Structure 1
Amino acid sequence: MKKILVATTIILGICMCLIFICANLYIDYNLRKYSVYYAHNMEHKDGTHPEMAMALENMDVIYNPNKKNIRYRDDGGFIIYNTFSDSERVIIKYGVSEEKSRYIFYDVVDKDYFFDEAFRLEYGYDSSTGLDEIDIKTVDQDALYKDIYKNFGFIVEANVNRKPRINLQKQFNKKYYKRFN
């Protein structure tokens, strides 16, 4: 009788551990897969773009539409190429450097724009003039963001209306609110 009680307790403990692990993995997966939807429905400060940041950060689990002239690459970071011709293309890239997220937009006119983890413009370089740093106060940021969304906004559009079965908006807000405010 004692052996059955011990065996039952051990099996019950193992089952509880497996349920706990699976539940936590599902929560993480849900937050990543529907991150664009959650980011769209979260309050955020003007000048931040959480939908684009979440789309680029979670490219491995969100829906990536197949489009003409679009190529995805995910070796170490996530890169999306939008190729107009052999010589003209724009690139947007996500990577982690120094323990924080970094987004880079490479423009057709040889300008590189670097964004922080909230997708706010930090600095830029103009490689056509010998990698001179661009004063971000002179950059028309609204036009820059329109250009980014014109070239890569289809990723946000494809994922913003994908509603999760289990809505974890409160957990998403708890995790990312400080980042985008």
Structure 2
Amino acid sequence: MKKKLKIATTLIIFISFGWFAYTNLYPAQNLRRYSVYYAHNMERKEGTHPEMAMAIENIGVIYKPNKKNIRYRDDGSYAIYNNSTDRKQAIISCDLREKELRYDFYDVTDKDYYFNDAFNLTHAYDSSVRNDEIDIKTIDQEALYKDIYNNFGFLVEANVNRKPLINMQKEFNEKYYKRFN
């Protein structure tokens, strides 16, 4: 009888621990791993790019295609290097350790572009002319976003159709709606 009681108690403890781990750890992992899919399917303001923001921010857990001339760095600050351009490499990065989330895009023409957490352009600098600040009103932002997607859109393409086993779209929308609207 004591042996059955010990087995039942052990079983209950393991089930309780498993349930606790699942309910507390899985949702956060699910929201990060499938963030590009959720961002693609959420309502958002015109001109925002939540898919690219989520792909870069969660590069450590999303699917990263193994492509020639593409290198990933995910050591706390995330960066993707695209060496497939003829002259120089294009880099897009974000540092989650900073107080305010910011995305950086360095293009092949020695220009640095900075985006806020909603992936909207906030600053631009021209490195070829002693880091002179560029007025962002003079930048063709549609062409800039097109250039970013030409260099790094493969991440969005690889993850936008990866459906999660448990759909947590409602939870994702609650967490990120204000950010992208």
TM-score (norm 2): 0.89
Looking at structure 1, the residues matched to 145 and 127 of structure 2 have their Cα atoms a distance apart, in angstroms, of 20
Contact 2:76 2:97 in 1 (8 A): no
Question: Structure 1 46/69 Cα, relative in aligned 2: closer, same or farther at 3 Å?
Answer: same
Looking at structure 1, the residues matched to 54 and 86 of structure 2 have their Cα atoms a distance apart, in angstroms, of 29
Contact 2:114 2:123 in 1 (8 A): yes
Matched, 1:145 2:145: yes
Matched, 1:93 2:102: no
Relative to structure 2, which stretch is displaced further, 14-23 or 97-106? 14-23
Deviation at 1:47, TM superposition (A): 2.3
Looking at structure 2, the residues matched to 158 and 11 of structure 1 have their Cα atoms a distance apart, in angstroms, of 40
1:59-94: CA deviations, max 9, x gaps? 111110011111111122111110036851100011
| Identical-residue share of aligned pairs (%) | 64
1:125-163: CA deviations, max 9, x gaps? 101111011110000000000000000000000000001
Aligned to 2:72: 72
Relative to structure 2, which stretch is displaced further, 95-104 or 22-31? 95-104
Q: Which structure 2 residue ranges, 5 or more long, are not aligned? A: none
The residue type equivalent to 1:147 in the other structure is D
Question: Structure 1 175/18 Cα, relative in aligned 2: closer, same or farther at 3 Å?
Answer: same
Contact 2:57 2:96 in 1 (8 A): no
**Length, aligned pairs only:** 179
Aligned to 2:30: 30
Deviation at 1:102, TM superposition (A): 1.1
The residue type equivalent to 2:118 in the other structure is A
Question: Structure 1 135/97 Cα, relative in aligned 2: closer, same or farther at 3 Å?
Answer: farther
The residue type equivalent to 1:31 in the other structure is L
TM-score (norm 1): 0.89
Deviation at 1:96, TM superposition (A): 2.7
After TM superposition, the runs of 4+ consecutive aligned structure 1 residues lying more than 6 A away are 8-11
Aligned to 2:106: 106
The residue type equivalent to 1:109 in the other structure is T
Q: State the SS of the aligned residue for 2:161.
A: coil
Question: Structure 1 164/48 Cα, relative in aligned 2: closer, same or farther at 3 Å?
Answer: same
Q: Which structure 1 residue ranges, 5 or more long, are not aligned? A: none
Matched, 1:40 2:77: no
Relative to structure 2, which stretch is displaced further, 9-18 or 50-59? 9-18
Looking at structure 2, the residues matched to 133 and 147 of structure 1 have their Cα atoms a distance apart, in angstroms, of 20
Deviation at 1:15, TM superposition (A): 4.4
> Over aligned residue pairs, what C-alpha RMSD do you find?
2.2
